[in-house]
Amino acid sequence: MAENWRGECSNPNAKTLVPGKQDDSSKKNKKKKETGSQFEFCTVCNLNHDQGQRHKYFPSHKKSLSACLSRFESKLADVRFFLRNPAALRPEHASRNRFWCIFCDVDVEELGSSFACSNAINHLSSVDHLKSLKHFMWKYGGGMDRLDSFRILDADVTKWRKKCATLKKEAALSEDRCHGPLSGLSNDIHREPNIGIVDHFEDNYTVYPLKSSILNGVTPLQYNTNEQQILYPEIAGGPNAGSLPTKLVSSNASLHSADDSNGVEGNVHSGAAPPWLDSSEHSLVDYNIKSFSVNVASHSNKLEKSRKLNPKRVGAAWAEKRKIEMELEKRGEIAKKECDSGWLPNFGRVWQSGSRKESRREFEMEKQTLLKKETESEISKEIQPYISKRIACFAGVRYLTLWIRVLLESGDIALSLMESSSNMVVVPPALIDERIRAAVLAGRGEILFCVMLARNTVQAKGEVLHAGGRVGEEVLMAILRSLMIDRHARINTRAVAVCPAPAAAAAWAKFGRKKMAMGGQR
Amino acid sequence: MSYVLTTLTKKREVDSVIRDTIDKVLVLRFGRASDAECMQLDDILAKSAREVSKFATVALVDIDSEDVQVYVKYFDITLTPSSVFFFNAHHMKMDCGTADHTKWIGAFRRKQDFIDVVEANYRGAMKGKLIVNCPLPPERIPRYQLLYKDM
């Protein structure tokens, strides 16, 4: 099944793109027809494929190939460095110098060489390597123009050999002066020439003659390992030789000497630098130097990276800003800002779709409409002079329609009355008699009271009371008060008070609001 | 009432908590401390607050206080207890298979559930995601029905 699927995927020209619809036998036939090749292993992609010659043009393969080649190139970069600056190879570091040549499928080790990467250089310049390189590029489609970046040219090799020869001669010369085992220049490839260290070495110049004398005089038993013996010949030769590798050596020596636990060389009296200072330099040197052990470098990189927080994390910019603010607040430079009461965090609401900013805006709008509603309900309704036509045609009498908005409990009667028309004051007949009439008589104005029984029928059961002139404020208030007090009267809750004169209008308004506060909401 | 966790009653306090928690998940529980399910949730929160303290902070908000009603409306909190997650003052949504991704409604079954949820939030936030998937299996997620507000 898997094979069939792969067969489908790799062949965009297949007639059916949906796997599993055809039966296996026909698929296999198709596969054989289309590809016709057996499975082979691609070292670059590290997988088996049956795509034959087409495989090297696929984008995934190209990606893996470029990654592979760039990795190899970086390894070669180290080798090239030593090609330009040959340095002696110390045996214990030989294990770090080996690498795997992907073209030749061979491990290139530095076993018997005296110089760093000499085996590697020799290998990379050899004819065999070139052959296998060409074959690799052809097989995996690397691009024949890049061949030279993966091998070392003969001219370079000869130059390098010359340099090595000169180095050897110098080493031999320097060794003649002192008695000591010949080891060539036991430069550690890890000790890169560093100007700082050279200066340090010059400061310690005075140390060396002392050391050589010690060497000649006292016992070599103080030196634990071979390396010490190797070093000291170079120390003596150090100040004299001006070449790069000896500087390296001497710096190396100074470091090592300082590191020694026995106080013979490098103690307070000899004026050597204290071991902790040197050891820190030592570690600095290690970091600065390119080494074949790429693992170490990458591992240290990883550590540094994980300590930093991911800059792509949520709210990173805000967090950085806030951290700085808090730092400054702590130090007292900025006064602690109380965030304004309107600040809201970035929140995506439940019933809103769209971005979070939009939902916040919608919330702000909602808040405002809520506020408006609350304030509006406090203000009484519009008060305007209105004379209804229906009423006006009533027996030619000039009516002043009173509109009262009263918030009381609505009874059934009142409701039905309400429905018909809202421009009548509904006053129960009983009430009209006593208090209201008296109030009207006391004041001045024309008021019509009537009772509406049913839709659109007006039963003028009330009386037309003329008090003459304008409706007095107190009168109106008295009327309304009387209406309100008697709750059993079941007064229409939706009647509206209308006044012609602005003064009276204010009175109505005031009254209406008061009622609002007292009666509460329906 | 949980004595281990801070209870917030004012909008200003809530604001300061949200703004001052940097690079840590902030869990804000909205609820009434006297409610049974809320008490259960508070218990779990109190017990695990210390364990997640390196990457999370927990705070309780009392729904009944008037100052906080703005937040109750803003976060559309209708069922209690609700827990809202923040990271660096940004709200973290979590898809638990329920209707409301913006908050966690209900209590947690076990301490480990809570820790898993907070960890999922933290990981997602560190990667830069504003919505994360819930690591809990559906049987451990409290179910509820969300009706539209005017119904």
Digit-coded pLDDT (tens) for A292-323: 555 555 555 555 555 677 788 888 888 888 88
For chain B, give the mean pLDDT.
88
Q: With contact defined as beta carbons under 8 Å apart, do A490 and A451 qualify? A: no
- The per-residue pLDDT for B82 is 92
* One-letter amino acid of A79: V
Go through the domains of chain B in sequence order and give each one's CATH number: 2-140 (3.40.30.10)
Lowest mean pLDDT among A23-27, A236-240, A283-287, B145-149: A236-240
Closest CA to A401 of A316, A497, A489: A497
- Band of residue B116 on the pLDDT scale cut at 50, 70, 90: very high
Q: Phi, psi (5° rounding) for residue A456?
A: 60, 5
| Residue B74 to residue A326, Cβ atoms within 8 A | no
pLDDT above 70 (res A43):
yes
Instruction: Say which of B16, B75, B87 has its CB closest to residue A314.
Output: B87
| Per-residue pLDDT, A162 | 87
Q: What is the pLDDT of residues A350-399, one digit of tens each?
A: 877 778 888 888 888 888 888 888 777 666 555 666 666 665 444 333 33
Residues of B in contact with A307 (CB under 8 A): none
Residues of B in contact with A366 (CB under 8 A): 73
Looking at A183-192, A384-393, B32-41, which range is the least confident one? A183-192
Residue A337's pLDDT is what? 67
Selection from A248-252, A469-473, B136-140 with the highest mean pLDDT:
B136-140
Pick from B74, B88, B127: CB nearest A347: B74
Highest-pLDDT range among A258-267, A333-342, A395-404, A468-477: A333-342
| Enclosing H/E stretch for A108 | strand A106-108
User: How many inter-chain contacts (A to B, CB under 8 Å) are there?
Assistant: 90
Q: Which residue of B has its CA nearest to A312?
A: B128
Quote ipTM for the complex.
0.80
Instruction: Identify the pLDDT of residue A503.
Output: 43
Nearest CA in chain B to A326: B20
Return the ∠ at Cα A143 (arms to A137 and A148), rounded to 5°: 80
Contact list in B for residue A322 (CB cut-off 8 A) is 19-20, 22, 88-89
Q: For residues A485 and A508, what is the distance between their CA atoms, to the nearest angstrom?
A: 16
User: What residue type is A397 in one-letter code?
Assistant: V
- Coil, strand, or helix at residue B6? strand
- Predicted confidence at residue A335, as pLDDT, reads 66
Higher pLDDT, A477 or A156: A156
Q: Which of A86-100, A129-143, B65-79, B135-149 has the lowest mean pLDDT?
A: A86-100
pLDDT at A175: 67
Beta carbons of B23 and A356 less than 8 Å apart: no
Q: How far is B25 from chain A (nearest CA, A)?
A: 11
| Residue A310 to residue B23, Cβ atoms within 8 A | no
Do residues A492 and A426 lie in contact, with contact meaning Cβ atoms separated by under 8 Å?
yes
Res. B23: pLDDT tops 60: yes
Chain B hits for A309, CB-CB cut-off 8 Å, are 23, 126
Letter string b/e over residues A196-221, b meaning 16 or more CB atoms within 10 A of that residue's CB? ebeebbeebeebbeebbeebeeeeee
Nearest CA in chain A to B12: A341
Q: Which residues of A touch B (CB under 8 A)?
A: 309-310, 312-316, 318-319, 322-323, 326, 338-339, 341, 343-351, 356, 363, 366-367
Predicted pLDDT of residue A363: 84
Tell me the shortest Cα–Cα distance from B19 to chain A, in angstroms.
8
Determine the pLDDT at residue B94.
Answer: 92
What is the model's pLDDT at position A488? 39
Q: Tell me the sheet residues that pair with B62.
A: B31
pLDDT of residue A278 exceeding 80, the answer is no
Strands A40-42 and A99-101, bridge-based pairing: unpaired
Closest CA relative to residue B25, chosen from B105, B120, B110: B120
Interchain contact, A318 vs B125, CB within 8 Å: no
CB contact under 8 A, B102 and A347: yes
Q: How far apart are CA B93 and CA B104, in angstroms?
A: 9
Once rounded to an integer, what is the mean pLDDT over residues A147-172? 84
What's the mean pLDDT when you consider all of chain A?
61
- Is the pLDDT confidence value at B30 over 70? yes
CB B100 within 8 A of CB B94: no
pLDDT at B112: 94
Residues near A363 by Cβ (< 8 Å), separated by ≥ 6?
Answer: A344, A349, B73, B74
pLDDT for A166 equals 86
pLDDT for the residue numbered B104: 92
Looking at chain A, which residue has its C-alpha nearest residue B20? A322
3-state secondary structure of B38: helix
- B26 has a pLDDT exceeding 90: yes
